[in-house]
Structure 1
């Protein structure tokens, strides 16, 4: 268990109520800072999955193909995950980050190789500039291999998080099949090429920032996974880079933002070369 001789988490620095400016270690160079006036409004497609397994499947697949090709991002609604599961998971995340410091620190580690841990920024061991977030990272598959390492406070955390992870995994596998089929491949092609899919969940907490124009929650990056399914709360902030322009991704209630990962791009490019 970590000790609290100095603040380990950004949220505890902020919650002191004495922070009226961003600490120097979080300030990015001028050329790398956010430029909100240059961010364009949300333009990524929102795809209704209600007809994915019905007579209009080909139309939905075409929407997915175009979204993958043109943006690499899209949002999905009517995805089959009950609103109650989504709401419960969001509530659990809030409750966890509102726990007393000593309780949260039971999960703390700065070791990036540890499967289940609470930490801050991105990689505090190696980075020169820190990022404005705390997060709880959990490995989720096979569930029985990891759930015993998850938090037990809040009391219902494991049950609610496990139900959420199972639901999100089912949706992810359905989307991988749809993406594969939308590319003119067999629906099982991508899964067959990549083998057994791991699953990782990150609960991100971005404390209120006194000078948001000086720092980032996370820097620009690509995801090395197959797919990222992102659940946003009501606070905007996510942006994607398209044609050299940052585009805001506004939250849609109970929708998931789908980010095409590097692995799908590699598989697709390899198939095109055959």
Structure 2
């Protein structure tokens, strides 16, 4: 099924997702972690992680400085505004302004984060602590992403370095999303249904205000925030690398009538020249390769040239 939906969210039809997998990365049992992650990637396409190694201080400071940034005067923020997706640092309001019929109820600051020394100089210098706090958060989240990729490799029955090797020198982006209170939440999205074009997304949710919803068995379900957890979702590249065993999940963000909501999404992406192709262990007569080999640059170009809520972009790369 595609994530295509009417252009309004039908919030009354959304139920809570009761059994979201919550995986304790600090439990010490590597094979159990790999098994739980494999089950979650196959059945849900996403999961939450606790005891993940990103310090509580880094998380609290990140959310704090994000609120400080979005509370700056409008004219200060407007200096950073652009709807050109090729810019490596920009403030914007919608995913694809030129193609949407209903614009999104969010502001977001999009940053490229790796290599840090290349991108940090162009980041906002107001608030004054922004560059230091966000740099530190980016480093910790990157390490978590690599640990998760190792566990995902193990869950597929291949060498733990396999995914990291295929993806090459991974890029890293961040979207700091601010969803203001919305007087008519039924009329718009914070972000419409989509899959992520990258490899892995690490989402920090605001604990006080829910908003993330995923498509499970053809129905939208709400993923309520869990204390001190990140939501991890599989991007299109890992669906292709797993030969379709793992799902890149359709997800969306809704807005709230009386409360603002903040989320921080970190994305790990293959290098542009990485050739996305499943390991030979996952291909046999019973499971032939589903997708053609492609580079990440080819994929990304195709992803951005279409409407966000069209059919899954991976469908365009099927054998």
Shared fold (TM-score greater than 0.5)? yes
**Greater per-residue strand proportion:** 2
Which consecutive unaligned segments of at least 5 residues does structure 2 have?
244-277, 285-319
SS in 2 for 1:259: strand
CA RMSD across the alignment: 1.5
Contact 2:102 2:188 in 1 (8 A): no
For 1:47, the equivalent position in structure 2 comes to 23
Match of 1:67 among 31, 40, 53: 40
Match of 2:7 among 24, 32, 38: 32
Deviations 1:17-75 (A, max 9, x none): xxxxxxxxxxxxx9432122322212211111112xx3x21111111110011000000
SS in 2 for 1:205: strand
Matched, 1:220 2:193: yes
Distance 1:105 1:268 in 2: 42
Distance 1:63 1:142 in 2: 32
Distance 2:221 2:178 in 1: 22
Give the CA deviation at 1:125: 3.3
Give the CA deviation at 1:165: 0.3
Instruction: Between the two structures, name the one with larger relative contact order (CA 8 Å, sep ≥ 6).
Output: 1
State which structure, 1 or 2, has the greater radius of gyration over its C-alpha atoms. Answer: 1
SS in 1 for 2:79: helix
Which consecutive unaligned segments of at least 5 residues does structure 1 have?
1-29
Contact 2:23 2:48 in 1 (8 A): yes
Deviations 1:96-143 (A, max 9, x none): 000011211221112111110111111223333211111000000000
TM-score (norm 2): 0.74
**Greater per-residue helix proportion:** 1
Runs of 4+ in 1 over 3 A off after TM superposition: none
For 2:128, the equivalent position in structure 1 comes to 155
Matched, 1:255 2:229: yes
TM-score (norm 1): 0.86
* Aligned residue pair count: 243
SS in 1 for 2:87: coil
Distance 1:128 1:71 in 2: 29
